Amino acid sequence: MTKRNMLLVALLAACLPGIIAWADEPKRGGTLVMSVQNTPRHLNPAVQSGIATGEPGTQLFASPLRYDEGWNPQPYLAQSWAVAEDGLSVTLNLVKGATFHDGHPITSEDVAFSVETVKANHPFKSMFEPVERVDTPDAHTAVLRLSRPHPALMLAMSSQLLPIIPQHVYGDGQDPKTHPQNSENVVGSGPFKLVEYKRDQHIILERYEDFFIPNRPYLDKIVMRIIKDGSARTIALDNEQVHVSGFEELPRDLLRLRKNADLNVSGEGYAAIGSIVWLAFNTQQGKTADKRVRQAIAYAVDRDFILQAIMLQTARAAKTGIHPGSPFYDDSVNGYDVDIDKANRILDEAGYARGDNGVRFALTVDFGWESVKAYAEYLKPQLKKIGIDVTVRASADFPSWAKRISNHEFDMTIDNVFNWGDPVIGVHRTYSSDNIKKGVIWSNTQQYANPRVDELMKLAGATYDIGARKRHYAEFQQILADELPIYSLYASPYHTVANTTVGNPPNSIWGTCAPLDRVYLKN
């Protein structure tokens, strides 16, 4: 290389960051059209969980914290926070000058009110159950007093789990669950305010000019179009009638969308939503009460085949009930790679001899909705190889399936359960022996009980030391991989599909259930 060339390279190298910075400078203005898949019951996440409310809800309401892509808490409505030495209180220092969409200041009283409302009305009781009270020494300081150390509190103070709602609106004495301002005239604290919500049609949001982060959000408006049909959304994205769509998970649509050079199809994020599809066993009644039967079935099921042939390589394997994107996921557990001979051997040794027709015994497998039907049907020929005669039971709709499973009237079922942030919130419920609750779907419907597993959950849920938590959850996952109350298949392949004209497409651990204040349109 000549000296002159070297100089040129050096000059270019010096300019490059500048050029990149210039190219990435967010632009202000524009209307983002986003598609959402379901009509929310209403827009207030304090009393309604779920993705349908989360996508608009996180635009309308701000939470104390937000999370970056590496699961690190970031300041949001709380500019700083501190956990006390004894772990029994968490102090939030709120941003000064923040206001609700009606201009009223956001104070620590509102934080206290929001915590109380969520604690009393939200279905996930484990989020704020240890919070005894919230002290408000001054308008910008809120101190959450805990009955025991509660590390799950940090994630429970982010995204849609703790929206800060105005006490002067939602504390007027009406039941917050049916408050008229949950769907219209919403008074929020987030980057966007509500213009119009038309059920089954759209939700229109507009920038809140006095949002507490200066110059944000970049977008003037977000139009959320409610399009339930997957192929209609795919066509809308292809035709640029929609800029962004989150939670896209249908393999064929994803493959098709990837072919469009004008679209970014990204599987990043969504780890905190933590949606996992698994095969659950009834561990108390019937043949599946025998651990060896469950293990033999796990060896007979070919997870790789499911990932390749049914999921078309869009999804990631999950060997445990904790999402593979979570810091607590333990990849070293036995994944039960397919081994038909071993499965047959286990059943032979357990004394389940084959009858004249080659059948050892019969089992049923349930499924509750169309998208998981293929796995239930796949089990029939596959388990025939190990002498189990499987009957696939369809349910008319979700409530029928939920009734059957929650009343423990099943052998096996395909299920899809969400982590919702910290394992304490969405994982413990599946295994905890004191959560065997008849009639409650997504409780411990497997009726699994192991004192050591209970103890490990208690330990991991009561220390802020991430190293210790990882150790406890590792042992927890090892035991569960051996005893197999559930056999995990894969993490739902949630993707965010965004037109290339969209800058900073959402990629948070909460997917599109996170504030879109940094998203902008390039032209």
Partner 1 sequence: MDFCSTLAKRIGFGLLLLFAVLVLNFSLITIAPGDIADTIAGVMGGANEQVLAEIRARYGLDQPFHLQLWRYLSAVAVFDLGYSYYFNTPVTTLILEKLPATLLLVFSAQIVAIIVGTLLGVLAAKKPNGAVSLVVTFLSLFGFAAPVFWTGILLIILLVSVFPVFPVGGMTDVTIEGGFFIQSLDLLHHLCLPTVTLASIFLALYSRHARASMLEVLGADYIRTARAKGVPEHGVLYKHALKNALGPVVTVAGLQFSAVISGAVVVETVFSWPGLGTLALQSILARDTPTIMGILFFSSFVVILFNILTDITLRAIDPRIKSG
Judged by CB under 8 A, does residue 128 bind partner 1? no
DSSP for 457-477?
HHHHTT---HHHHHHHHHHHH
User: To the nearest whole angstrom, how small is the minimum distance from the Cβ of residue 358 to partner 1?
Assistant: 34
Q: Taking CB under 8 A as the criterion, which residues in 362-381 touch partner 1?
A: none
| Joined tokens for residue 447 | 């009726």
Judged by CB under 8 A, does residue 521 bind partner 1? no
505: left (phi over 0), alpha (psi -120 to 50) or beta: beta
Judged by CB under 8 A, does residue 182 bind partner 1? yes
Tell me if 462 sits within 8 A of 423, measured CB to CB: no
- Of 18-26, 276-284, 416-424, 483-491, the window that binds partner 1 (rule: CB under 8 A) is 416-424
Q: Applying CB under 8 A, which of residues 209, 397, 451, 523 lies at the interface with partner 1? A: 397
Judged by CB under 8 A, does residue 27 bind partner 1? no
Q: Which residues contact 195 (CB under 8 A, 6 or more apart)?
A: 204, 205, 206, 221
User: To the nearest whole angstrom, how small is the minimum distance from the Cβ of residue 401 to partner 1?
Assistant: 8
Residue type, 436: I
User: To the nearest whole angstrom, how small is the minimum distance from the Cβ of residue 200 to partner 1?
Assistant: 4
Q: Applying CB under 8 A, which of residues 79, 136, 141, 183 lies at the interface with partner 1? A: 183
| H/E segment holding residue 133 | strand 131-138
Q: What is the distance between the alpha carbons of residues 47 and 117, in angstroms, rounded to a whole number? A: 8
Q: Tell me, letter by letter, the H, E, C secondary structure of 152-196.
A: CHHHHCECCCCCCCCHHHHCCCCCHHHCHHHCCCCCCCCCEEEEE
- Of 1-9, 186-194, 231-239, 296-304, the window that binds partner 1 (rule: CB under 8 A) is 231-239
Report residue 246 CA to chain centroid gap: 12
Q: Applying CB under 8 A, which of residues 28, 199, 252, 458 lies at the interface with partner 1? A: 199
The residue among 18 and 180 lying less far from partner 1, judged by its C-beta, is: 180
Judged by CB under 8 A, does residue 402 bind partner 1? yes
What binding mask, one character per residue, do residues 71-90 give for partner 1 by CB under 8 A, x or -?
--------------------
CB count within 10 Å of CB 121 equals: 14
User: To the nearest whole angstrom, how small is the minimum distance from the Cβ of residue 496 to partner 1?
Assistant: 19
| H/E segment holding residue 206 | strand 202-207
Judged by CB under 8 A, does residue 23 bind partner 1? no
Provide the sign of the torsion angle of the four alpha carbons 49, 53, 54, 59, taken in this order.
Answer: negative
Q: Give the binding site for partner 1 (CB under 8 A).
A: 31, 33, 38-39, 41-42, 48-50, 52, 123-125, 178, 182-183, 198-202, 204, 223, 225-229, 231-232, 235-236, 238-239, 241, 396-404, 406, 417-418, 420, 426, 429, 437, 439-443
